[in-house]
Amino acid sequence: MTERVVLAYSGGLDTSVCIGWIAEETGAEVIAVAVDVGQGGEDLDVIRKRALACGAVAAEVADAKDEFADEYCLPAIKANALYMDRYPLVSALSRPVIVKHLVAAARKHGASTVAHGCTGKGNDQVRFEAGISALAPDLRCIAPVRDYAMTRDKAIAFAEKAGLPIATTRKSPFSIDQNAFGRAVETGFLEDLWNAPTEDVYAYTEDPAAARAADEVVVTFRAGAPVALDGRPVTVLQAVQQLNARAGAQGVGRIDMVEDRLVGIKSREVYEAPGALALITAHQELENVTVERELARYKRQVEQRWGELVYDGLWFSPLKRALDGFVDEANQVVSGDVRMTLHGGRAVVTGRRSAQSLYDFDLATYDTGDTFDQSLSKGFIELFGMSSKIAAKRDLAG
């Protein structure tokens, strides 16, 4: 039987050319797999037909938007996952769900190899290949753009020579990756760190400086998951999509940062994630109300490590799975409502309520009716600072 290669297919120039390129270089048949994670653009059936027209022996398309939201975005919300305290893992979250479908297709079609269109200097090559090796250690991975030096000029020449049914001339000045959770933009004039992003960089968000009325939203959570907006039930996908629209219209969710890539270089990235950042902001505040202090302190450490593992492409690793259990347990009490004002590029929490609240008004108030016994504080402070006091006496005596 002829060897088969499953290709992660986007429908664009590079992955369309990869179909014929792989066949020429390896003699293998190519099965194209396209996964919809809410990136928008063309209809999946159009993409499937294009893959076949470009020489694929089979093409599969998967509507994975809800799967992506429920199984990948939701854990990130529960973990308040922000790489380098800013980036909500937009692209990093989509890669493992794509990997899952690639491996399933490889098993279905008897393929021995999985291919992707990543370059050799980005994070995604690691995310694809580490994910594939974790789910299917027997599968081989190839990356034509990286492994065969398939530059854009070569890709255009190949497409024209082969008469591929795809535009080969127009090229965006930016490299863009987007899905339901957000949008990532890099390259072009953004590679000069002194250049400010222009408005044409953005698509998910409006100018935060433009005059407009504020938008108030109430997000309801149950065990850490968003289940309603303004009292109307929503799925996780609907919560993200509706807040993408509402928060994005207020300019919420723009991030311009210099990021530490896994491969060791720094890169300038511009992100838009209005729904993701609004939900994480609301979720963090509800945790402040419902999660006990020591658990909350430890969870913040777990959140950082969780985000690093996902960013680094280790979604399917044993440590990531173990941390998932901790995050889920910590979220069991994270239920209630958070009210936010969306305006001027910010999502500001203005109210919170929960049947699981640990906030005790009678203990917290400074007015009449305060039930906090302040006489206990003096002895507490003496004991709490005792070890430092003893050390200070020693050090000062020396």
* Catalytic residue list: 14, 95, 124, 175
Is 133 assigned a ligand-binding role in the annotation? no
- Distance of CA 4 to CAs 7, 20, 88, 96, 97, Å? 10, 13, 36, 22, 21
CA angle 4, 9, 12 (to 5 degrees): 135
Q: At what angle do helices 386-397 and 375-384 cross, to 10 degrees?
A: 50
Residue 11 known to bind ligand: yes
Q: Comparing C-alpha atoms, which of 234, 221, 310 is closest to residue 66? A: 234
Determine the 3-state secondary structure of 138 from DSSP.
coil
Which residue do the tokens 């599968």 mark? 139
Cα 249 to chain centroid distance, Å, stands at 20
Q: Report whether 116 contacts 8 (CB < 8 A).
A: yes
CB distance 299 to 316 below 8 Å:
no
Q: Is 341 annotated as a binding residue?
A: no
365 is in an annotated binding site: no
Report, in this order, helix, strand and coil percent for the chain, each rounded to 5: 45, 20, 35
Which tokens go with 78?
């529960």
12 is in an annotated binding site: yes
Tokens of 320: 């990531």
Q: Is 10 annotated as a binding residue?
A: yes
The answer to whether residues 39 and 178 touch, using CB atoms and an 8 Å cutoff, is yes
Cα gap 134→131, rounded to integer Å: 5
Give CA 31 to chain center in angstroms: 27
Distance CA 108, CA 210 (A): 52
Q: Is 123 annotated as a binding residue?
A: yes
Query: Rounded to an integer, what distance in angstroms lies between the CA atom of residue 272 and that of residue 277?
Result: 9
Question: What does the longest C-alpha to C-alpha distance in the chain come to?
Answer: 86
Task: Tell me: is residue 271 an annotated ligand-binding position.
Answer: yes
Question: Which of 93, 351, 75, 92 has the alpha carbon at shortest distance from 224?
Answer: 75
Residue 240 token pair? 């993200």
**Residue 54 identity (one-letter amino acid):** C
Q: Residues forming the annotated binding site for L-aspartate?
A: 119, 123-124
Q: Residues forming the annotated binding site for ATP?
A: 8-16, 117
Q: Residues forming the annotated binding site for L-citrulline?
A: 87, 123, 127, 175, 259, 271
Q: Residues forming the annotated binding site?
A: 8-16, 87, 117, 119, 123-124, 127, 175, 259, 271
